[in-house]
Copies of this chain bind each other. A is one copy, B any other.
Amino acid sequence: MGEHKRIGILTSGGDCAGLNAVIRAVVHHAVGNYNWDVLGIRNATLGLMQRPPQVMHLTPENTDGLLTMGGTILGTTNRGNPFAFPMPDGTERDRSNEIARGYHQLKLDALIGIGGDGSLAILRRLAQEGGINLIGIPKTIDNDVGATECSIGFDTAVNIATEALDRLHFTAASHSRVMILEVMGRDAGHIALNAGIAGGAHVILIPEISYKIANVCRKIRQRQDRGQNFSIVIVSEAVCTESGELVTKMEQFGESRLGGVGQYLAEQISHHSDAETRVTVLGHIQRGGISSPLDRLLASSFGVAAVDAISEGRYDRMVAWQNRQIVEVPIAEAIANYRAVNPQDTLVKTARGLGICLGD
């Protein structure tokens, strides 16, 4: 069973479904089977900067109810980049240094960091500069982390967005409207593409494929011509115009503009057609509540595998999911292979096969 260890775990970046299930799995395996100590670090790396470091002792008892629960009992923050902000107490000390100091002060043998693309890159740099034994676990509703089929949180987000489309279908048809659903995915359109196919959308716009508004309006008109007097459009929170510009809420819209990309698109469609449009912004709801069964499986498997990697002394690695099996990859490899939607992906072909307009 190997030597006794003391490990930490933190959750970083936006919350999503499955984080708590990872925590539970890590604790059940590390404490229940290996008899190690597990410290939960509060609010991502912020907890390691504070003095004393802010932690909670995790036990099978206080984590047993976490399997289905969304969010993270450890707390998280989007402002955790230690290379970009001052210390929590306002001083100008080197935050990255302080994080490593917190880790060593806690006498940790290893750290499990759950994060997306950006968080994993930061954690890796911290680990390398500060002598931290790091294992990464990929989470992001956007599913853009490389080297893994899925990250935690994606399946639940797709389920919620699909369910929203299922609901909008009926009201769209009843009122002869074009319903636009704006979902998350600033850099990668996986949620929109997956939910759009699963939810029977007629138009899917994502940042990876530049769109012409004329194509969108033609699709809507074609449907009208066949007596289908409504259309469902799903759109990522960033889209790409035919000139190759990325349009998002913050970069393009003046203060006087209402809303984000969904609203922008509604105005374009109204301008170029006689369709009546309505916009729904799914927002924070897609971060989940009860985790989907697949996210629970993924999270449980990641948690157990991360502990196994530590028990065998393998660090600087990320656990990944491929074909319903766990593999380990170097964190560097995962980061280097950021995954946007590729025009050759199966789902892009599936969308085209179904007659869905992708805007191009």
Task: List chain A positions with a Cβ less than 8 A from chain B.
Answer: 11, 14-15, 19, 25, 28-29, 32-33, 60, 67-72, 75-78, 149-150, 155, 158-160, 162-164, 166-171, 173-176, 179, 194-195, 197-200, 255-256, 258-259, 278-281, 283-285, 287-290, 292-294, 296-297, 300-301, 303-305, 307-308, 322-326, 345-347, 349-350, 352-355
Contacts and interface: CB of A to CB of B under 8 A. Distances in A.
B353 A28 contact: yes
Contacts of A33: 352-353, 355
A106 B118 CA distance: 57
Given A304-B349, A350-B300, A281 B284 contact: no
A319 to B, nearest CB: 10
A197 B296 contact: yes
Interface centre among A11, A160, A174, A300 (most CB of B within 10 A): A174
A293 B194 contact: yes
Given A76-B175, A167-B160, A167-B289, A355 B294 contact: no
14 contacts: A14-B175, A19-B174, A28-B355, A75-B175, A77-B175, A167-B284, A168-B284, A170-B287, A179-B284, A255-B256, A256-B256, A280-B284, A290-B290, A324-B346
Contacts of A160: 167
Given A28-B354, A168-B285, 13 more contacts: A32-B354, A60-B355, A71-B169, A158-B293, A166-B289, A195-B293, A198-B297, A199-B293, A258-B258, A301-B347, A304-B349, A305-B350, A308-B353
Nearest to A325: B346
A345 B321 CA distance: 12
A76 B174 contact: yes
A2 to B, nearest CB: 14
Interface centre among A167, A176, A195, A323 (most CB of B within 10 A): A167
A333 to B, nearest CB: 15
Given A198-B296, A258-B259, A166 B355 contact: no
Contacts of A280: 281, 283-285
Given A289-B166, A307-B353, A171 B71 contact: yes
Contacts of A195: 293
B77 A355 contact: no
Which 8 pairs show the lowest CB-CB distances between chains A and B?
Answer: A71-B170, A304-B353, A70-B170, A167-B289, A15-B174, A71-B174, A198-B293, A29-B353
Contact of A346 (B173, B199, B326): B326
A106 to B, nearest CB: 22
A70 B304 contact: no
A176 to B, nearest CB: 7
A227 B255 CA distance: 35
Nearest to A161: B293
A355 B173 CA distance: 29
Nearest to A155: B294
A350 B304 contact: yes
B256 A259 contact: no
Contact of A70 (B11, B167, B179): B167
A345 to B, nearest CB: 7
B171 A354 contact: no
Contact of A323 (B149, B164, B198, B303): B149
